[in-house]
Every structure is written in C-alpha cells, then in structure tokens.
Amino acid sequence: MCGIVAYVGQQEALPIIIKGLKRLEYRGYDSAGVALLNQEGLSIYKKKGKVSELENHLNGLSNLNSKIGIGHTRWATHGEPNDVNAHPHYSSSEKFAMIHNGIIENYDVLKRDLMNKGYVFHSETDSEVFIKFIEDIYVNNYCSLEEAVRLALHKVVGAYAIVIMNKEEPDTLIAARKGSPLVIGVGDEEYFLASDATPIIEYTNQVVYLDDYEIAVIRNGKLQIKTIENVETNPYINQLEMELEAIEKGGYEHFMLKEINEQPRSIADCMRGRLDAKNGRLVLGGFRDYMNKFQNADRIIITACGTSWHAGLVAEYLFEEFARIPVEVEYASEFRYRNPVVNERDFIIAISQSGETADTLAAIELAKSKGATIFGVCNVVGSSIPRATHAGSYTHAGPEIGVASTKAFTAQISVLTMMALKLGYQRGTLPENRYMQLLSELETIPSKVEKALQLNDKIKEIAAEFKDARNFLYLGRGYNFPVALEGALKLKEISYIHAEGYPAAEMKHGPIALIDEEMPVVFIATKDSSYEKVVSNIQEVKARKGKIIAVVTEGDTTVRHMADHVIEIPETEEAFVPLVAVVPLQQLSYHIAVMRGCNVDQPRNLAKSVTVE
C-alpha cells in the first residue's frame, strides 16, 4: 500500500516520477505528491486524488526542473485523504523531504515527545512524525543525515520503505526499508527507486532489492548500502526479466480485462518448463529440493489472504485427494493472532500474488519461529515473501495491475495443482496411470480457458440483466465451493454489489431465507461427483423464484431447463474445474462493474498490495 518513486541522475526527474506513480497507482490512489530540488530550493507539490489530479495541478506551474525528486501515491492509513496528509512531508526546518510507505506503530509516543519539545505538526500522518523525529536526532547529535536515519530506525516500531531528499545535497537520496518493499534500479550514473520494478523497467533491467534493516545512500552517482548496524553490504544486482508490454494495457480498456484474457497464456507460462505430460515429467525447482520434507509432513497448513486464500482452499481439496496429507487453510490474519499448534513436522504453504501482504508475512515468521518449513507460492519476483520462506515456486503470471486478482488466482492454482500431483505420485497415493492421465489433462487447460473466454458476449448480456441487483448469492460444492467464494469476492470488490459465496448445501441452513424473485443465484454446477446434489439445490432456489445463472459443463441439458441462464464451459477433470469455471465469473463481475460505471482497476478503498496489518 502506497507507492513510492524516486530518481537521481542527469534526466528531468518529474516526468519519470509521474509516469512511475501512475504505474504504482494500484497500490493506492487517495492522493499523490512530489518533491523537487532546484535553484528555487526544495519544493513539495501534492494533491488529493489520483496522480492525474497532481499532474493537472503541476501543469500550470513553472520551475519544476530538477534532476532529483521523490514521489508518492497514497493509500490512507493515518488521517483522511487530503492535500495536507499527502506525501512527501517536510522536516520542521523544511531542509528534508520524505516519502514513506508503511506504518509507524509508535508514532504517537514519538509525536508527544516531539510536541513537548515544541515541534508543530500539520498533518495527521505517522510519516510527518517520522521525518521530524529524524531531524530532531540530526540536530541534537550534530551528525550526518544518514547517521540520523540510522539512529532513528533503531527507535521506530513498524514497517517502512522511505526515501529522503536533503535540500543541501542535490545529488543525494537516502532510502531504507523494513517490511515494505523497495527496489533500486541501477542505470548509468542514475538511480531509480520504487516500490516495485514497474516504474523502473523502461530505463534499466538491473535492480537491487533492498533488504529489511538496510539503508541505501546514493550520492554523486554511487550506491552504498549499509545495515542499520552500520555494516557495509555488497549490493547484489539482479537482472529483471519483465517486459514493458506486460505492464501496459495493450489496447484493452482495463487492466482487469487484459488480465482475464491473458489467462490461457499465463497458465501456460506457469506450466512451461515444469510440465511435460508426454514423458510424465513434472518439475518444480524449489519444490524438488524440499520434496523429502514435504512427503513426510504430518500436516500441510496453507496461509494466505483474500483471493490467495481461495486458491488455498482449492489446494486443500487437491492435496487431500491426491497426496492424502491432512490440510488446514488459515487466514493469515487469524493464524498469526492465535497461538497455533505448529511444529517442525508441519509444512506451511504461504500464497501471495504481491509477496508483500503484511499478515501473510507475519504468519510466515510465526510458523518459522516454531520450526515449520515454509514454502512460498508468489507472483512478484524478489518480493518479501519469497525472501522470507525456505523455498518456493513463482507463479509466473506476469505483472497483475488490476486491483482485483484474476490471472494470479489461476496461476496459483496451477502451481498448487502441479505440487499436489507430484506429491501424490511420489507418495504412491496417486497411481502412475492416473497420474499420467491427469498430467495430460492439465496440459489442455490453457486451451479450455481460451474456449471459456469466448463466452464473453453471452456473459455481457447476463450482466446487463443483473447489473442493478442489490445482492447476489454464489453457490458451489467441492472444488467449486472456493470458486463460489471467489466469484462473490470479485463481484463485491469491483461493483460494490453485496455478494456471498456459500457451499451449495449450506444454503438450506440459513441463506435460503434470502431467496425471492429479486435474488440472482450463481451456481457452479459442473458435471462432477456432487452434480446431482447441486441440481437439487438449484430446484430449491427455483421453487422460491430465485433467478438462476448456472455455470455448467458443455452439453448439459438438465440444468438448462431449470436455469434462467446457463454458461457452458468445456469439460475437464473435476480437480481442474476451478481453473476454467472461475473465468466466466471474472467476466461477469467485470461487465457488471463497467455497466455500473465503477472504476474496475482501482476500486474504492482497496489497494493491491496490503502492507498494513
């Protein structure tokens, strides 16, 4: 949450920062601001609203030339979204300006101390406290700014990625991180800093991922990294593999639509080099090294949040069916605040698109402290979760920019499916002929998703009919229960229609009371082991005049006679249905949201990377 960008070099900083902030807007879009330094001094410009509001504001101004600058796009935590609470923030003397992503938990104590010393605060933010605290140390210790930052970082509690400019050092940026991401792009005597690599990719593909408790000082075209214990470290330069086109809309109206349509390719990318059905080969690098431990685990605990948690639920069915190991799926935010019974014989799988979700990170640390082995399933390369886990597999879905997760979900399920099949085969719980059959079917999934995407026009018609509904119910059983949850989440987060997902059989224990002629009910009723039961549930809704939209297997005639609308998806193995069945539900929520005039890529109150707890 919150995106930060900074530049120092020979180019004009402002266009680089504005473009970068637009790329990071998925992280927060409550307000935006920049700080620039030139002969006029150190100036801050900020505006409530999106980066485009800031851009409009800057359009009428002069003296914006600067070869150094910092910028921020905010997801409000402390204080409402307005111009004053927007970043950057000045220190008291206005000698320093800072951008901050994260939360300072002890800001209140620090603020009271500073107020007792006569400091005045203009905003309600923890970030203003942070920079004023740094300046207080700077003044009282007669030390350099980097030393003041270092000392301050020993005192602040919480999470941060910060970048600071000093009015008196026009060639210097100081950055630090703990718990919030920070990537440094290394150019030719120029540096780009950002919350992720997307603002950097068009200038350089060489990046350094700053680690927790590290401070980077870029001065005079040189980068130096030290720990907060003042020990110099050797910056490790990574080669970015991301393509620029992957982070652009490529002719689509929204990133979400592009990402929904990318799924045949993203699922194939996820399987590429790993799955070779013809030769019965399934190789997942990080997984192979931990196979022994995994095979002998007493229990698998899956921890994640939101959509990633739904992928975890699908994985529970997969691991239990194929590998016969008991699985528990935990909301990271609940797991970390219990006193869970975890030990060294447990295998933990942490799933996260961003790799930065604070609750998931905290759950990992907790399980690690109890001796468990932690395996990450993440999309963003180099993010915090892959670095906090013992091993892991990337999902290779490519950058997901739309706030509502789509292609990351199917890529997560693809990785988890491959893991479950491999584990089942290794443990002998999945016989070879069945394993080979499943591998062959898995290879056909990208083309089946491609076919499912062709239902778009039909789904648009359904969307037009139901766009004004006030509530929706999504029902499914078995593997399709998590799909129902995911369908409901997609609808509520981008269209603001209340939607609930339920196991279909649970309907009679409460939700059935909601059903009347106003209630659209989406059934995922594919031909599987619970098909007959779901058909009975459809009858129950029909008897109460609910409107039925059913996702069914191609050629199904039974449900066609009961439902108001059927969406026919290609047939596949029961265990792989979620990969195909979720696609029309993503499209349905997308079209409803567009028809309701909602901002599908940046829904209200949400941010893509939830780095607050």
Write out the catalytic residue numbers.
2, 608
Nearer to ligand F6R, 145 or 413 (CB): 413
Contact between residue 387 and residue 363 where contact means Cβ atoms under 8 Å apart: no
Nearer to ligand F6R, 8 or 358 (CB): 358
Angle at the Cα of 462 from the Cα atoms of 459 and 468, rounded to 5 degrees = 130
Q: Report CA-CA distances (Å) from 575 to 153, 322, 416, 469, 482.
A: 48, 10, 11, 32, 12
Closest distance to ligand F6R from the beta carbon of 305 (Å):
4
Mention every residue, 6+ apart, whose C-beta is less than 8 A from residue 603.
403, 404, 493, 494, 496, 593
| DSSP tag of 28 | -
Closest distance to ligand F6R from the beta carbon of 613 (Å):
12
Q: What is the largest CA-CA distance in the chain?
A: 81
Closest distance to ligand F6R from the beta carbon of 386 (Å):
12
To 10 degrees, the CA torsion angle through 543, 546, 549, 552? -20
Closest distance to ligand F6R from the beta carbon of 106 (Å):
26
Residue in 580, 558, 583 with CA at minimum distance from that of residue 571 = 580
Question: Using CA atoms, how far apart are residues 381 and 293, in angstroms rounded to an integer?
Answer: 24
Nearer to ligand F6R, 73 or 384 (CB): 384
Closest distance to ligand F6R from the beta carbon of 289 (Å):
23
Closest distance to ligand F6R from the beta carbon of 528 (Å):
25
Q: Report CA-CA distances (Å) from 573 to 29, 254, 324, 444, 529.
A: 41, 32, 18, 11, 11
Residue in 167, 195, 271 with CA at minimum distance from that of residue 22 = 195
Residue in 598, 399, 351, 567 with CA at minimum distance from that of residue 491 = 598
Nearer to ligand F6R, 43 or 412 (CB): 412
Question: Using CA atoms, how far apart are residues 371 and 549, in angstroms rounded to an integer?
Answer: 47
Closest distance to ligand F6R from the beta carbon of 26 (Å):
10
Contact between residue 516 and residue 484 where contact means Cβ atoms under 8 Å apart: no
Mention every residue, 6+ apart, whose C-beta is less than 8 A from residue 605.
none
Mention every residue, 6+ apart, whose C-beta is less than 8 A from residue 164.
70, 96, 97, 98, 131, 134, 145, 149, 173, 174, 175
Q: Report CA-CA distances (Å) from 251 to 100, 224, 254, 267, 494.
A: 33, 41, 9, 21, 21
What are the φ/ψ torsions at residue 435 (nearest 5 degrees)? -60, -45
Q: Which residues in this chain contact ligand F6R in the complex, by CB under 6 A?
A: 305-308, 352-354, 357, 360, 404-405, 489, 493, 610
Nearer to ligand F6R, 408 or 442 (CB): 408
DSSP-derived pairing of the beta strands 232-233 and 222-227: antiparallel
Nearer to ligand F6R, 92 or 352 (CB): 352
Question: Using CA atoms, how far apart are residues 375 and 238, in angstroms rounded to an integer?
Answer: 22
Question: Using CA atoms, how far apart are residues 14 and 80, in angstroms rounded to an integer?
Answer: 26
Contact between residue 539 and residue 529 where contact means Cβ atoms under 8 Å apart: no
Nearer to ligand F6R, 128 or 493 (CB): 493
DSSP-derived pairing of the beta strands 214-219 and 222-227: antiparallel
- Looking at beta carbons, which residue is closest to ligand F6R? 306
| Element housing 220 (H / E) | none
Nearer to ligand F6R, 197 or 216 (CB): 197
Nearer to ligand F6R, 214 or 486 (CB): 486
Residue 596: how many other CB atoms lie within 10 Å = 15
Angle at the Cα of 357 from the Cα atoms of 212 and 262, rounded to 5 degrees = 120
Cα radius of gyration (the chain): 25
Residue in 607, 312, 564, 597 with CA at minimum distance from that of residue 458 = 564
Residue in 533, 575, 531 with CA at minimum distance from that of residue 551 = 531
Closest distance to ligand F6R from the beta carbon of 353 (Å):
4
Nearer to ligand F6R, 85 or 406 (CB): 406
Question: Using CA atoms, how far apart are residues 449 and 414, in angstroms rounded to an integer?
Answer: 12
